[in-house]
Amino acid sequence: MESADNLRNKCAACFRQFNRMEHLVDHMRTSYHSVHEPTCGVCKKHCRSFESLREHLIGPLPKQECKSLFNIRGCRFCLAILDSPYALRVHQDRCQLSGVNHGIPAHMANLGLRDSLTIDNGYSRGPQVVAIACKMVGGGSDRSLDLCARVCIIDEYENIIFHSYVKPPIPVTNYRYETTGIRPEHLRDAMPLRQVQRRIQDFLCNGEPMWKIRSARGGKARILVGHGLDHDLDKMQVEYPAIMMRDTAKYPPLMKTSKLSNSLKYLTHAYLGFDIQNGIQDPYQDCVATMRLYLRMRRQVHRREECPLASDPQNRNNFASWRQSELERMSPEEMLAISRSDYYCWCLDSA
């Protein structure tokens, strides 16, 4: 009854097979499978990232039966399988987003032209979500030190909250004009970095003390969306707790199978269906792209589960509270049912 044993030792999420039950248990302990993983709409296989789901559906080595169905009624942007070719056409018209105009023509985007960085007390609709993006020029003798010279912040509806040039605290040695479009005259009277830093810091915290935001009771502190946020915040000298950040460069479903980040340009092309960062780059476009990616991830419909993240960091996927012998008596489906994700899925922001 070799085959029956093998079936029993097949992971209910990724379908890997193990010769012995204890090996499947070991696999489940370290896989953090959950309802939040990108899942094939045909065979229900769980994938770690959308990129591995894309490989499963499209290639280079796709699963044939999934590929043939995907070819007829699969969306090549969000990778969902629709009910019919007609439903696919209707869906894909909405799923592929059109490009973004520049927020403000470069010659008009002067100091403080859009500046509504205000502290409010709006508790009404949960925390406000904003996206940030910067453009860097070069400093230092080898011209490679990144200096923030332009920053944009938008709200969920792509309205500009703040869009300004920034005067770096040390001399600029490379304006990187071909991609930034920035010239010396743009920065001469721009807002000094120190002032930008303080205002953005206050805007994000929105009146809440840092200790409270860190303790996951952020109240009206803002959720911050971006791509490579650690770098952007570091260059602006803004400090913000990771618990409030939604980084499209570090969100596991949007990363490469190699666990490296994808570029924002690639993610926007592959998952939203339009192009950014051709020629001179406006940070407004980057803000819109990251915000749209965030909203798409937040709108994913995943089954509600109790304790989506186990609170004990040593026992994140719940398995430590079970004895090996208890786990070995479970079916693969039962083990999957108690397994939890090791990352915070953005669908949980919509709760």
The residues that bridge with 225 in the sheet, in sequence order, are: 131, 246
User: Which residue in the block uniquely carries the two structure tokens 């809440």?
Assistant: 208
Alpha-carbon span 49 to 15, nearest angstrom: 16
Alpha-carbon span 201 to 9, nearest angstrom: 51
Q: Does 309 bind Zn ion (CB under 5 A)?
A: no
Q: Does 87 bind Zn ion (CB under 5 A)?
A: no
Q: Does 24 bind Zn ion (CB under 5 A)?
A: no
Q: Does 270 bind Zn ion (CB under 5 A)?
A: no
Please give the structure tokens belonging to residue 164: 């300004």
Whether residue 223 contacts residue 246, with contact meaning beta carbons closer than 8 Å, is answered with: yes
Q: Does 88 bind Zn ion (CB under 5 A)?
A: no
Q: Does 11 bind Zn ion (CB under 5 A)?
A: yes
Q: Does 251 bind Zn ion (CB under 5 A)?
A: no
Which residue stretch of 165-173, 205-213, 283-291, 342-350 sits at the interface with Zn ion (rule: CB under 5 A)? 342-350
Based on CB atoms, which residue is closest to Zn ion, 66 or 233? 66
* Least distance to Zn ion, CB of residue 116, Å: 32
Q: Does 75 bind Zn ion (CB under 5 A)?
A: yes
Near Zn ion by CB under 5 A: residue from 7, 20, 43, 170: 43
Which residue stretch of 44-52, 219-227, 228-236, 311-319 sits at the interface with Zn ion (rule: CB under 5 A)? 44-52
* Least distance to Zn ion, CB of residue 241, Å: 21
Near Zn ion by CB under 5 A: residue from 18, 32, 70, 77: 77
* Least distance to Zn ion, CB of residue 45, Å: 5
Based on CB atoms, which residue is closest to Zn ion, 55 or 158? 55
Instruction: Collect contacts of 270-277 with beta carbons under 8 A, ≥24 apart.
Output: 270/54, 270/77, 271/50, 271/77, 271/78, 271/296, 272/77, 272/96, 272/97, 272/296, 273/77, 273/95, 273/96, 273/97, 274/96, 274/97, 274/98, 274/99, 274/100, 275/99, 276/99, 276/100, 277/179
The set of residues, in sequence order, having a beta carbon less than 8 Å from that of 102 and lying 6+ positions away, is: 282, 284, 285
Please give the structure tokens belonging to residue 290: 């990251």
Q: Does 132 bind Zn ion (CB under 5 A)?
A: no
Q: Does 40 bind Zn ion (CB under 5 A)?
A: yes
Q: Does 14 bind Zn ion (CB under 5 A)?
A: yes
Q: Does 78 bind Zn ion (CB under 5 A)?
A: yes
Q: In angstroms, what is the C-alpha Rg of the chain?
A: 23
Binding site for Zn ion (CB under 5 A): 11, 13-14, 31, 36, 40, 42-43, 45, 66, 75, 77-78, 95, 302, 345, 347
